[in-house]
Amino acid sequence: MSNVYIKTKIRSGSYAMEYLRKIRKKRILVVCDKFLAESGAISYILDALDSSNTVDIFDQAIPDPTIEVVGKGLSVICKVRPEIVIGFGGGSAIDTAKGMIYFAGVRNLVPKPKFITIPTTSGTGSEVTSAAVITDSESKSKHLISSDDILADVAILDPRLTLSVPPSITANTGMDVLTHALEAYVANGSNVFSDALSEKAIELLIKALLQCYRDGKNLEARTLMHEASTLAGMAFNTAGLGLNHSIAHQLGGTFHIPHGLANALLLNQIIDYNSVNHDIMNKYASLACKVQLVDMNESPVMAVNTLKELIRTLMRCMEMPSSIRELGINIEAYEEQLQNMTDNALMDNCLAGNPREAGTEAIKKILLSIY
Kindly report, residue by residue over 111-170, the tens digit of the pLDDT.
Answer: 999 999 999 999 999 999 999 988 887 776 777 888 999 999 999 999 999 999 999 999
pLDDT higher than 90, residue 107: no
Could you give the CA distance from residue 88 to residue 273 in angstroms, rounded to a whole number?
36
pLDDT value for 5: 80
pLDDT value for 63: 87
pLDDT value for 315: 98
pLDDT value for 1: 63
Cα-Cα-Cα-Cα dihedral sign, residues 173, 181, 66, 91: positive
pLDDT tier at 190, thresholds 50, 70, 90:
very high
Q: Does domain 7-160 have CATH number 3.40.50.1970?
A: yes
Q: Which residues of the chain does CATH 3.40.50.1970 include?
A: 7-160
DSSP structure string for 191-237: -HHHHHHHHHHHHHHHHHHHHHHH-TT-HHHHHHHHHHHHHHHHHHH
Name the phi and psi angles at 29, rounded to 5: -115, 120
Q: Which residues of the chain does CATH 1.20.1090.10 include?
A: 165-368
Cα-Cα-Cα-Cα dihedral sign, residues 15, 16, 17, 18: positive
**How confident is the model over 66-80, as a mean pLDDT?**
95
pLDDT higher than 90, residue 288: yes
Cα-Cα-Cα-Cα dihedral sign, residues 200, 201, 204, 210: negative
99 versus 15: which is more confidently predicted? 99
**How confident is the model over 95-110, as a mean pLDDT?**
94
Four-point Cα dihedral 326, 332, 336, 341, nearest 10: 10
pLDDT tier at 20, thresholds 50, 70, 90:
very high
User: Which residues are within 8 A (CB) of 246 and not within 5 positions of it... i.e. 6 or more apart?
Assistant: 345, 346, 348, 350, 351, 354, 358, 363
pLDDT tier at 3, thresholds 50, 70, 90:
confident
pLDDT value for 64: 84
Mean pLDDT of the chain: 95
What is the percentage of the chain residues whose pLDDT exceeds 90? 89
pLDDT value for 253: 87
The predicted-structure confidence for 292-337, as pLDDT tens digits, reads as follows 999 989 999 999 999 999 999 999 999 999 999 999 999 999 999 9
pLDDT higher than 90, residue 270: yes
The predicted-structure confidence for 38-60, as pLDDT tens digits, reads as follows 998 999 999 999 999 999 999 99
- Burial class from Cβ neighbours inside 10 Å (0-12, 13-18, 19+) for residue 100 reads buried
- Termini Cα distance of the chain: 41
pTM: 0.94
pLDDT higher than 90, residue 241: yes
pLDDT higher than 90, residue 110: yes
pLDDT higher than 90, residue 265: yes
Give, in words, the CATH class of 165-368: mainly alpha
